[in-house]
Amino acid sequence: MRWVLILPLLVLLVLFALSNREAVALRLWPFDLALVAPVGVAMLVLAAVGFLAGALVAWAASLGARRRARRLERAAKALEAELAALRAREAAAAAAERRGEAPSRAAMPALAGPAEAARR
């Protein structure tokens, strides 16, 4: 499916480069450098450099969101572990109740009074 989009673009790029074969001298002002290249190639290279610069800016802008996502993922894993521990405690209390034993207040903190909760 990807080739349906990429192939026509590649054909257009090749046709652009072949249609613009006149030589052009590219100079960098403060230095005495000159690069002679076909216009098509020069334009494609400049477009690629611009694309890479834009990708770098987009990547740098997403760093904060990535950091926030990692922090939220760690918090979610901690909450899932706490939920699993609470479910295990609840299952143990239910099993003890089925056996006829009274559930211990340590196993069920929700049943503990305010004095016991304050001691923890």
CA dist 39 and 78 (Å) reads 58
pLDDT digits (tens, 9 = 90+) for 11-29: 998 898 889 899 999 898 8
Tokens of 32: 């005495």
| Cα separation values, 73 from 66, 68, 70, 77, 80, Å | 10, 9, 5, 6, 10
Q: Is 66 helix (H, G, I), strand (E, B) or coil?
A: helix
Span 29-46, pLDDT tens digits: 888 889 999 998 898 899
Q: What is the model's pTM? A: 0.57
Domain range summary for the chain, segments of one domain joined by +: 2-61, 66-108
